[in-house]
Amino acid sequence: MEPTWDIETDLLIAGAGPAGMTVALVASIEGLTAIVCEKTRQVGGTGATSAGTLWIPGNSQSRKAGFEDSPEDAATYLDQLIGDDRASEHRRIYLQDGPRVIDYLENKTDVKFLPCGMHPDYRNNLSGAGLAGRAIIPDVFDGRLLGKDFERVRPPIPEFMLMGGMMVGKTDIVNLLGRYKSFAAFRRSASLVLRYLSDRLRFRRGTRLVMGNALIARLFYSLKKRNVSVMFQSPIKDFIREGGVVVGAVLETTNGDKRVRARKGVVLATGGFAHNTEYRKAFMPHPTPPHSMAPVSNTGDGFVLADAAGAGIDTSGQGGGLWSPVSVTTRADGTKGLFPHLAMDRAKPGLIAVNAEGRRFVNEAVSYHDFVEAMYRSHQTASTLPAWLVCERAFVTKYGLGAIHPETRDLSKHIANSYVTLAENLEELASKIGVDPNGLLDTVARNNDFARTGTDEDFGKGDMELNRFNGDPLHAPNPCLGLIEKSPFVAIAVWPAEIACSVGLSTDPSGRVLDAQHQPITGLYAVGNDMGSLMSGSYPGPGTTLGPAVVFGWRVAMHAAGLLSDQKAEA
Ligand SMILES: Cc1cc2nc3c(=O)[nH]c(=O)nc-3n(C[C@H](O)[C@H](O)[C@H](O)COP(=O)(O)OP(=O)(O)OC[C@H]3O[C@@H](n4cnc5c(N)ncnc54)[C@H](O)[C@@H]3O)c2cc1C
């Protein structure tokens, strides 16, 4: 008997994050019908809370702004960083297609980007690494254009918003901090705040969207314009297969289960296995990181279904995750949050990171991913989970620390809820946080020697362009090294958490899921964090996961439409 279908479409895409929405958008442009099924009541996933940066070597947006770069140099860089492995072909194709995918989106949709200009690669001491021109960010988006569907865009984490709901990007922060130093900065800051206050008369948060929220809103807006439907609260639950072929899927909706026929395939874009305890234990380092930056809805559903259907798992993403150190916040409603220490504090002068022996274990100004890898290396010999960031209280007021914004003078709220620990001297601080006091005293003394000479003889803080980019340019002789000598002192605990999974499903470069024998499972694709990371667990530069999510999202859709140039050559 013929199976009965509740819904029929060309492509069914599970997950309305950046990866899934890109697939749906491109599929629709290329003449396919597409439906996105989303588990939650909002689009965005982790992408909505992200910084929204894409690493696209050779992109035309940067070139037009005067930043020359070449995908060939980027290939040299990746070869040095990662070498030749199973994902080499994915990387080659990624570099080849990246710039044109971005141009495609810009020309045909409302997904628009801005060049970041200077934004060094994370291992900029390797040859082929770039200092500028590779990173792009989504252009600011006016959430009011979405009307009542603005509510459907997952908000950023509260820790990334000011005044309870105002998003700010990097340039906004510079303007806000400099508001009393120049009239232009004052005017820009005033206009930000006024716009926010007027938004709050009608919306639950500010509608001027930046970073990952702008990317998500732009994708969603473009999908809406093309009448591509997103089925909310409708997680994919099972595949429907005929022979070995995936011909559709069962969705669990608020109106009962729905059988969806997907003529061109089912795309898994469910954001990886972040909240799946079993997979965390299997693929992540031990002790398993206690925290994840992904939304709780990312329970590895795509991964579980494909695993059961005989999909291969690509474990070359060593470590299972792409990491950031995070501190644990207490929100206004008493719930716990996580603040990722990405770029604002660690590189600044006058901050060190220590383990339980009170010893430094890393150049604090390396990338967030490299920092956490160093935590795990250090933890083999001395407890480093958590690691402690130590500085003067004056540092916190000047630069901020984690979720505490610069210019904060009164830390009492943060001390009362144990976000930070404050002490009058270093011995007392060490004893309060359970760190060896002699180790800490020695380490701070050594840091202060380095701060005076400007050379970190132990870990080279400030040596790399990346370090100095996030340091304080007005601080000499080294923008990343400063004294820690004036009481009181502050410490904050940081833990490892992943911002993305790096182990994922095994795919070919068109995103088709491969079985254990490396053969495509017809009708099944994976993209975004459901796809094994093509960077094999490394983090070359800003935008390492969103870049591939968007570029391979395009490739999946083009493959389903039979339009990939390599696919046409094969035929
Ligand atoms: C603070 C932070 C900053 C970051 N900044 C950057 C950055 O600047 N650049 C960068 O490259 N990366 C960044 N990342 C990482 C990036 O956000 C993720 O790698 C990216 O969002 C993954 O995209 P995705 O579409 O695969 O998954 P997600 O964005 O997580 O979306 C997955 C979606 O699938 C849905 N879903 C789950 N299960 C089901 C199911 N059964 N059926 C249907 N839907 C389902 C989820 O609800 C979710 O909406 C950052 C992450 C964080 C936390």
What SS3 class is residue 491? strand
DSSP state of 477: S
Same domain, 414 and 543: no
Q: What is the CATH number of the domain that holds 121?
A: 3.50.50.60
Q: Is 75's C-beta closer than 6 angstroms to any atom of ligand 1?
A: no
Residue 422 lies in a domain: yes
Chain segment 403-448, per-residue pLDDT in tens: 999 999 999 999 999 999 999 999 999 999 999 999 999 999 999 9
> Domains in the chain: how many in total?
2
Cα of 295 vs centre of ligand 1, distance in Å, is 8
Q: Which of 331-345, 429-443, 445-459, 481-495 shows the lowest per-residue confidence on average (mean pLDDT)?
A: 331-345
Last residue of some domain: 444, 473, 498?
498
Query: Does residue 345 share a domain with residue 489?
Result: yes
Q: pLDDT for 78-113, tens place per residue?
A: 999 999 988 999 999 999 999 999 999 999 999 999
300 C-alpha vs ligand 1 centroid, how far in Å?
12
pLDDT at 438: 98
Shared domain for 513 and 465, answered yes or no, is: no
For position 566, what pLDDT does the model report? 75
- Domain check: are 216 and 329 in the same one? no
- Write down the pLDDT at residue 523: 98
Q: Are residues 412 and 444 in the same domain?
A: yes
Ligand 1 contact via 40 beta carbon (within 6 Å): yes
**How far does the centroid of ligand 1 lie from the alpha carbon of residue 529, in Å?**
7
Q: Which of the listed residues 478, 498, 518 is the one where a domain comes to its end?
A: 498
Q: What letter does residue 126 receive in the DSSP assignment? A: S
Query: Do 235 and 103 belong to one domain?
Result: yes
Is 382 found in the same domain as 240? no
- The more confident residue out of 171 and 228 is 228
Is the minimum distance from the CB of 546 to ligand 1 under 6 angstroms?
yes
**Cα(434)–Cα(386) distance, rounded to whole angstroms?**
11
Q: Is 50 in the pocket of ligand 1 (CB under 6 A)?
A: yes
Tell me the average pLDDT across 513-539: 96
In a domain, 220, yes or no: yes
Tell me: do 373 and 507 sit in the same domain: no
- 445 lies in some domain: yes
Q: Is residue 539 part of a domain?
A: yes
Expressed in angstroms and rounded, the spacing between residue 508 Cα and the centre of ligand 1 is 21
Using the atom order of ligand 1, give the atom closest to the CA of residue 52: 8
Ligand 1 near 503 CB (within 6 A): no
Q: Pick the atom of ligand 1 nearest to 527's CA.
A: 26
Same-domain status, 560 and 460: no
- Calculate the alpha carbon distances from 446 to 76, 209, 278, 328, 472 in Å: 37, 44, 43, 29, 20
Q: Say if residue 569's pLDDT is above 60.
A: no
Tell me whether residue 286 is in a domain: no
Residue ranges of alpha helices (H) inside 160-207 are: 170-177, 183-199
Residue 293 Cβ inside 6 Å of ligand 1? The answer reads yes
Could you give the percent of the chain with pLDDT greater than 70? 99
Is the Cβ atom of 529 under 6 angstroms away from ligand 1?
yes
Predicted confidence band of residue 172 (pLDDT cuts 50, 70, 90):
confident
Do 489 and 508 belong to one domain? no
Asked if the structure places residue 362 within a domain, the reply is: yes
Which of 498, 527, 542 is at the close of a domain?
A: 498
Alpha carbons 61 and 114: distance in angstroms, whole number: 7
- Structure-token pair, residue 373: 């890898």
Strands 313-314 and 54-55: unpaired
pTM attached to this predicted model = 0.97
471 and 556 together in one domain: no
| Domain of residue 345, CATH code | 3.90.700.10
Residue 293 falls inside a structural domain: no
Q: Ligand 1 centre and the CA of 14: distance in Å?
A: 12
463: containing domain:
321-498
Judge if 101 and 223 occupy the same domain. yes
- The Å distance, Cα 180 to ligand 1 centre, comes to 37
Instruction: With respect to residue 282, please indicate whether it lies within any of the assigned structural domains.
Output: no
